[in-house]
Structure 1
């Protein structure tokens, strides 16, 4: 599996042990502060590399110290960062995520250089020898440009996948709709599916997105696991029963596990099981790169089969 992860790359700063924001200029001691590479392209790239894929990242960062940290963290995971262009007039995209004891994670986010990335920033040879193209954050390119990139990949026999960063909204679906007919696998969360479509159930919403052009919709649903919908099938897979520390990056981890599972020849259910198990490994730590999980350790979780009950 040789994959180009194109689009949103972010440096996350996790702060764990937050009960409330201190009043005025008061301070507060916390348990831990940690950096991690993130984003619908960057976070997925890290997890795919952990699972044994050959990964190259493409997107935009600034020329600031945040970029240096992000690039170092990606490279340390084995992700090729040569395709991340530097933008002098934009800061590197970054988030600060205070994690509450119950796992809730409000966030402050700066779009930064992600908003300045265009198809002109992609090297001409970016898709050479690639088996998969994962586009994270198509809304920053816009539907026509995202569709152009995905169509080009498909013409080369490359498997395409798409993950939207923005919350679910019908206007956002209209903005990216041109990309859907060129998308083999759409990887949203349940809130996005329901928000995009106005459907009353996750399955109905996923079906509507398939009707809009996506080949397959694999939607995460938090502690309820995931639902995978095609034109003629519905597969529901429960989440794995793990201690949850922080759910940041779990959606990116599911995407990585699901795509890696497909590349390994697993069917839709088997790929979704690998996706849910991978998301569980990420939920047990801070960030997509927390801990030391690997393909073998995630497959062992799947084999053990300790899942939550679907509800």
Structure 2
């Protein structure tokens, strides 16, 4: 039986680089490889959890195409349950081309594809009752989500004492708390990054973001800040956590790896400072190779790394 159910974005990622620079117009740049990997929030978190020894199921949509076949084979290699992954009839598997340019942020070319077919109706309440944690990855980038049905699902999880973790992908131009606010009191752990938190709150300071989200009803909020570490709020208290330094090849999967660390921490019953240290180590480990999951720590590796590399977590601003 799975301990965790992951639902949401499933994507086939193709990575180009790292490149010193984009080629000039009309030029050909020869590459040694363009790795193709499973990606998308739900896929990444599920694979990362499996690498940490946690039984996990996936729910989402892929197309009836070679990309969908490849994703399902990848999930099977990690012993991830895929019986709730639906093959969309009309849309291709979602795909992203990720350009890695040295010294620059990543560039993305994306096909939404089958992710647009994913709906809350695909999530069985009977399945939820078998879980300890339910994770939804990519809220706001899943156009088929009915927010009233999602609220009912989260309320069911709250009543059944199933922990819920939600993160978001905020499209350009998305702003304000109108759609999110009714959900926040029903989510156990909400995990935006600082750019996403700014889009929701209109605030730049991460502690102001935390206060705005908790004032809107959020329970535990963790705002990740890349190399700036993370900040968190729970029960009226605030925490600041530093970041681990790694030789960064590709930061693409670091946020999802961090989320997987938070989920394992929920299963372990750890307090928030221990959660932040462990999740930070797992998140940092994802940056060491091109792709979102290849270099992610196992649980034993992450725990040893945290023990050997103390990371400061302070309460308060």
Question: 1: CA distance between counterparts of 2:172 and 2:188?
Answer: 20
Contact 1:282 1:289 in 2 (8 A): yes
TM-score by length of 2: 0.91
Aligned length in residues: 311
Partner SS, residue 33 of structure 1: coil
Q: Which 4+ stretches in 1 moved above 6 angstroms?
A: none
1:134 aligns with 2:156: no
Q: Deviations over 1:193-232 (max 9, x none)?
A: 1221012310110121112122111111000111111241
Q: Any conservation in 2 of the 1:241–1:307 contact (CA below 8 Å)?
A: no
Aligned counterparts of 2:233 and 2:276: Cα–Cα separation in 1: 11
Deviation at 1:170, TM superposition (A): 5.8
Structure 2 counterpart of 1:28? 29
For 2:118 and 2:243, locate their aligned partners in 1 and report how far apart those are by CA, in whole Å: 34
Quick check: 1:45–1:79 contact (8 Å CA) kept in 2? Answer: yes
C-alpha displacement of 1:34? 1.2
Q: How does 1:1-311 map to 2 (within 5 A)?
A: 2-102=3-103, 104-123=105-124, 125-139=126-140, 140=142, 141-167=145-171, 171=175, 173-291=177-295, 293-305=297-309
Structure 1 unmatched runs, 5+: none
Query: CA 1:65–1:161 in 2, change beyond 3 Å: closer, same or farther?
Result: same
Q: How much has 1:49 moved relative to structure 2?
A: 1.2
Give the aligned CA root-mean-square deviation in angstroms.
Answer: 2.2
Call closer, same or farther: CA 1:285–1:309 in 2, change over 3 Å. farther
**Structure 2 gap ranges (5+):** none
Using a 3 Å threshold, how does the CA distance of structure 1 residues 249 and 172 change in structure 2: closer, same or farther?
A: farther
Structure 2 counterpart SS, 1:181: helix
Alpha-carbon distance in 2 for matches of 1:110, 1:259 = 28
Residue by residue, what CA displacement relative to the aligned partner does 1:72-109 show, whole Å, maximum 9, x if unpaired?
Answer: 11221221111110101001111110111226211111
SS for the counterpart of 1:14 is strand
